[in-house]
A and B are shown apart, each in its own frame.
Chain A
Amino acid sequence: DQQVKQNSPSLSVQEGRISILNCDYTNSMFDYFLWYKKYPAEGPTFLISISSIKDKNEDGRFTVFLNKSAKHLSLHIVPSQPGDSAVYFCAATESGGGADGLTFGKGTHLIIQP
């Protein structure tokens, strides 16, 4: 049973517009969420994170929103740029869980069209 779900395998957005990537989770123990970006033949790169005590975190063009009651988070990229074309993974963890690793979604392939 998947605990972190990214229901859109791919998303196509025009350059300059907003990209919205969605993620749902089922485990109520998760309290720390991260987004990673991955280019082909490279490792995932950390993008932005959010703790469950917040509902929004912003870093430049990237904003993550967390809706705890709906167990839903989203990543907004504004404005979208060609270099944003990549696979985006949503990940979650229990921050007090010691050395436990991250639970990942299957990823969303974002394509920015010129």
Chain B
Amino acid sequence: DAGITQSPRYKITETGRQVTLMCHQTWSHSYMFWYRQDLGHGLRLIYYSAAADITDKGEVPDGYVVSRSKTENFPLTLESATRSQTSVYFCASRLAGGGGDTQYFGPGTRLTVL
């Protein structure tokens, strides 16, 4: 049971480049989330999705784009990367309804923007 996976695990890019971080879950969870973790900030919500083709902004959405054409995938795109987007990115998923609000996290992608 693979659960939730992220790729790549590490990425170095340059300012202005487009970068896409991938997230895939095998649980058929309806809800998926993207967070970033920075020193001094804990984890902050970037975007979330309640189902395929339904997405919404979180606390820090500027500079990011998401899509969800399939339930199992939730890619995060940085259209023009900036140094302030250097961070560790975590994808998470959650069951609809009876699973409560427990979210399960992927292993993370460490992104460095030079």
Contacts and interface: CB of A to CB of B under 8 A. Distances in A.
By size class, the interface of chain A is: 20 to 34
A73 B45 CA distance: 22
A43 B90 contact: yes
A52 to B, nearest CB: 12
A42 B100 contact: no
A104 B90 CA distance: 13
Contacts of A42: 107-108
A91 to B, nearest CB: 8
Nearest to B106: A43
Interface in A92-111: 93, 95, 98-107
Interface residues of B, number: 26
A32 B33 CA distance: 17
A106 to B, nearest CB: 4
A41 interface: yes
Contact of B50 (A49, A95, A99): A99
Contacts of B43: 44, 89, 91, 102, 104
B109 to A, nearest CB: 10
B107 A102 contact: no
Contacts of B56: 99
B56, B102, B107: most-surrounded residue (chain A CB, <10 A): B102
21 contacts: A6-B42, A32-B100, A34-B102, A41-B107, A42-B107, A42-B108, A43-B106, A44-B43, A49-B100, A98-B50, A100-B48, A101-B33, A101-B48, A101-B103, A102-B33, A102-B43, A102-B101, A104-B44, A105-B42, A106-B42, A107-B42
Given A93-B101, A99-B54, A104-B35, 10 more contacts: A32-B100, A41-B108, A43-B92, A46-B102, A91-B43, A99-B50, A101-B45, A101-B58, A102-B101, A106-B42
